[in-house]
Amino acid sequence: MFSASVKPTPDQPKTGPGRHGEPASGPASATSFEPASGTSVIGRDLTLLGEKITIVSQNKLRVDGDVRGNVHGKQVTITAGGSVEGMVCAEKIEVNGAVRGSIRAVAVTLSGTSEVDGDIMHQSLAISEGARFDGRVRRAEASELMPVLDPEAIAAGEYN
């Protein structure tokens, strides 16, 4: 639909997709919008809200902004400026910001800047000094904690 292309000059190396999406040579183009690390980002200037909103990421998700809905991902990081009001489900969750709702993950890390108001189901939990947490904690088997990353299954309510 929209595309940006930069024509290389004689003194500028040609860039473009190489094997497995890597640049063929030289530095990445300034017009490249594909995240190199496979991380999706909800920016600081973005607020997502509405009834029954669920964000699903098949890979890594970084929340810098505000989400008022559920978040499902393989790996979720909520930065110091980020917040989620809803359930957060992932294999690995790192909270540096705020969560108001339940957290379900195999591995959960609450940093010293985190504020969590809700229950945590986990297999492994690390809470740093300074973290604020109000809720209950329950250890569960990894099979109970694996996130559902199929949007159709989530829409049909096929998860706990």
The answer to whether residue 73 scores a pLDDT higher than 80 is: yes
CA 47 to chain centre: 15
- Nearest partner of 61 among 78, 81, 85, 82, judged by Cα: 78
Sequence-distant (6+) residues with CB within 8 A of 113 are: 80, 96, 97, 130, 131
The answer to whether residue 144 scores a pLDDT higher than 80 is: yes
Q: What is the pLDDT of residue 142?
A: 86
Average pLDDT of the residues of the chain? 81
Token reading at 77: 């990081």
Measure the N-to-C terminal CA separation of the chain; round to a whole number of Å: 38
**Cα atoms found within 13 Å of the Cα of residue 122, Cβ hemisphere only:** 19
Share of the chain above pLDDT 70, in %: 75
Q: CA separation (Å) from 2 to 5, 28, 31, 33?
A: 10, 19, 12, 11
Q: What is the pLDDT of residue 111?
A: 97
